[in-house]
Structure 1
Amino acid sequence: MLLRRHNLNNDFAAYIDNLKKQIKSFDVNLIITEKKLQYGIQLTVTNSDSKVVLSVYNGKKGIKFVWGGTASELRSQLEAVLTGKDTADKAAIVQAIGNDYTLLRNCADFKGIWAGSDESGKGDFFGPLVVAAVLVDITTAEKLVRLGVRDCKLINDKEVLRLAELIVEAAPINTVLALKPEMYNFRYQQMRADGKNLNHLLSNGHIAVLRNVLRQCPQCNYALVDQFTTSNDIRASLQQEFPDVNIVQQHRAEADIAVAAASVLARAKFLEVMQELAEQVGRNELPKGGSDAATDCARELMKELGRGALERLVKVHFANYKKI
């Protein structure tokens, strides 16, 4: 932010005092500490779980703000308060929320509330299959965008774990379902015995998580699913209980913020379970994906622990298993 200089040279201290009053007017419980800088002042603002650093410089071209610290809801809120914007640029927010949201927004009966679901672990030999759903309204969606939430494939695992905590706080109507390998293998065998396949297992997961979030918000009449097959029973199953809910399935639905948030929660749970499984067998980590490294690791673990132990770690219908 750059302001005209006016008389700030003579009254920079008063300007800083006014900034602190604005911050306190937003939340009286915020703690503000002050540190002198060359040509400016650094304000550190903290609450129970966030810290925001704002360096304010009084230069020849006027006042300049430099924001520090990681992106957080508190930082976004303070930026809005101190720059005079009550929300981020609406056009940018709508674009970031995603094309699927735009599609729904143009429907006459859209109530401004929607759910999104996505999965993680489908292509990983080790570890669980996880499906998650998140319900948002316009305000929640804007908040998630400002927090930096996006498709989990676009961010690293450390960022996934950090964002997952923020998503749960910002969008409390969410559900995460994890099928650990032992249960996954059991359910997959049941599906095969009934002439079904992995897509049916995935469909059941999406149905379960979406059903749970839709039950918590009767006003919601749209749900978005990242499409993984051309034909499934997600819509038919959900509309038996929720006849007024329109189920939209699209490729690359992670462009929508609700589905993106679900992808982050699903990935975070996948990482959590992977760490649990690794610790159970005395490893720092287990290989992700379905590469030769995963096959080699599984082969070593079977020699060490036996077939039964391995089948509690991996998806046994994968080609990797057949190679061992």
Structure 2
Amino acid sequence: MSNLVMELSTEEVIFLRGKLKAARGNYPPGMIFRSKYQGVTISIYNSKKAMFQGANNEKVAMELLGRVTPSPSKKSKNTSSHSANINYNTHSCIGSDEAGSGDYFGPLTVCACYVSKEHVEVLKALGVDDSKKLTDTKIVELAEQLVTFLPHSLLVLDNPKYNERKAMNWSQVKMKAVLHNECIKNVLQKIDAKALDYIVIDQFTPRPTYERYAIGDVPLKNKTCYETKGESKSLAIAAASIISRYAFVKHMDALSKQYRTTILKGAGPKVDVAAAKLMAKHGIDEVDSITKKDFKNREKALKILEKRYKDR
């Protein structure tokens, strides 16, 4: 089994513990946390060392931390990822979130939106919640209401552009950082920044990595917080999550209509089979144009396709 050992900052340890679910069982002395993510076992030790074990260890480290090279931890001021004591729903906030990052088919969509203190009760009355808990029908219903009164910015990175960035050695973490930052800057242009209390980002990477990858200035760093499972902590993030998911759902519906078949969400085994069928009918290049080519689903679909031809 391939192993990758990395030294983490305190912030990265906090981020991974918030992002991943701890595996059950007794840990060896010196280990504070163990989890499995996309087939890779991640062990974190008291020494702030992390071991990534598995064939895709570098890819997983890059996705979670935005790097694969060892880096000594650095102490810095004002770099806290999250602020557990803040009740964001009593403040005016910009929230940002994305959809499509774990789906083989379809684009990467990112939204930032502004929710003032006055609009918090309105969102609660409408039933705004974590988009993962809502049906696609409810997401569409809510999003079409939210966009009429919430200042927001929605950016869609389609599959050809996503694959171009990958060919330029951009990680998905970098793509998301750039898109989140641009959405937030766009929303700031639509509101009175003096009324803004916080910018809350649904955390997908530690703050230093986000700030390193975002192209251009990261605005209002002193007001920016990063929250794992942010949809449950901030209605601004929940609203952004719904709008970004809405854009992804509508795009997937359009693909299903275009190819006269249900284009599946996610990245599971059924997606592999569906992709192989589309490759057989429309060609590999066509499927590449509507998928994220770096996903393992592509390789698995090609194997299914190859086996099907061999069995004939």
TM-score when normalising by structure 2: 0.64
CA distance in 2, matches of 1:157, 1:104: 25
Correspondence list, 1:127-146, <5 A: 127-146=106-125
Which letter does structure 2 place at the counterpart of 1:113?
S
Q: Which residue of 2 aligns with 1:322?
A: 299
Which letter does structure 2 place at the counterpart of 1:265?
I
Correspondence list, 1:163-312, <5 A: 163-171=142-150, 173-190=151-168, 192=169, 196-217=170-191, 218-219=193-194, 220-235=196-211, 240=217, 242-243=219-220, 246-255=223-232, 256-283=234-261, 285-312=262-289
* 1:103-136 superposed Cα distances (whole Å, 9 cap, x missing partner): 685xxxxxx4210000111111111111111101
Give the deviation of 1:234 after TM superposition: 3.9
CA distance in 2, matches of 1:231, 1:243: 13
Structure with larger RCO (C-alpha < 8 A, sep 6+): 2
CA distance in 2, matches of 1:183, 1:201: 10
* 1:55-84 superposed Cα distances (whole Å, 9 cap, x missing partner): xxxxxxxxxxxxxxxxxxxxxxxxxxxxxx
For the Cα contact (< 8 Å) 2:178–2:215, is it kept in 1?
no
Number of residue pairs aligned between Structure 1 and Structure 2? 215
* 1:122-181 superposed Cα distances (whole Å, 9 cap, x missing partner): 11111111111110111112211111001101111100000001111231x111111121
The verdict on how the C-alpha distance between 1:238 and 1:116 changes in structure 2, with shifts beyond 3 A counting, is farther
Greater Cα shift, 235-244 or 148-157: 235-244
CA distance in 2, matches of 1:140, 1:119: 22
CA distance in 2, matches of 1:303, 1:280: 16
Give the secondary-structure state (helix, strand or coil) at the position aligned to 1:131.
strand
Correspondence list, 1:44-83, <5 A: none
Greater Cα shift, 212-221 or 286-295: 212-221
CA distance in 2, matches of 1:245, 1:139: 23
Q: Please, which runs of 5 or more residues in structure 1 have no aligned partner?
A: 1-98, 106-111
- Is 1:149 the counterpart of 2:123? The answer is no
For the Cα contact (< 8 Å) 1:221–1:244, is it kept in 2?
no
Give the secondary-structure state (helix, strand or coil) at the position aligned to 1:240.
coil
Which letter does structure 2 place at the counterpart of 1:269?
A
For the Cα contact (< 8 Å) 1:117–1:225, is it kept in 2?
yes
Q: Which residue of 1 aligns with 2:94?
A: 115
* 1:236-271 superposed Cα distances (whole Å, 9 cap, x missing partner): 759936347511001111121000000000111000
* 1:251-307 superposed Cα distances (whole Å, 9 cap, x missing partner): 111121000000000111000111112222222x21110011111111111111111
The verdict on how the C-alpha distance between 1:232 and 1:318 changes in structure 2, with shifts beyond 3 A counting, is farther
Question: What is the Cα-based RMSD across aligned positions, in Å?
Answer: 2.3
Q: Percent identity?
A: 29
Greater Cα shift, 259-268 or 233-242: 233-242
Which letter does structure 1 place at the counterpart of 2:153?
T
CA distance in 2, matches of 1:113, 1:241: 19
CA distance in 2, matches of 1:261, 1:184: 24
Q: Please, which runs of 5 or more residues in structure 2 have no aligned partner?
A: 1-83, 303-312
CA distance in 2, matches of 1:140, 1:130: 24
The verdict on how the C-alpha distance between 1:139 and 1:101 changes in structure 2, with shifts beyond 3 A counting, is farther
